[in-house]
Amino acid sequence: MSRLNMSENANICILEGIISVEAAVRSGSREVKLCYVDESKVRKRDRRVLSFLKLLNSKNIPVNLCDRNIIDSFLNENDPDCGNSHGGIAAVCGERRFSSIERVLSRTSERGGFAVV
């Protein structure tokens, strides 16, 4: 079981729900430090969750398979503003990283596209 000392991480963000967490993992806009996954979803062979776990594994992101109540407690303790819409998935992430305008324009010109601001 992976654990993270939240008191040592002042610049963290907690994401809840597979859509939010998967978007953060795929975009690379945040460092995903630890992901909590409801173990009952794995036992039920939920295809989306199994695919999500493969993605986490490919990015070397630590996973804590646990009971849904543990995820609820974790969210309540660390982010009282979080709701109960996690669906069995929550993640501890770093702050969002933004690309500089120079980098965006450079990548856009390399691909022959344009940027709208």
- Could you give phi then psi for residue 49, rounded to 5 degrees? -70, -40
Cut 0.85: pTM above it: no
The pLDDT tens digits of the residues spanning 80-116 come to 766 667 889 999 999 888 878 888 888 888 877 777 7
* pLDDT, tens digit, 9 for 90 and up, residues 36-87: 999 988 889 989 999 999 999 999 999 999 999 998 888 888 877 666 678 8
Separation in Å, CA 44 to CA 60, 62, 91, 93: 24, 21, 21, 27
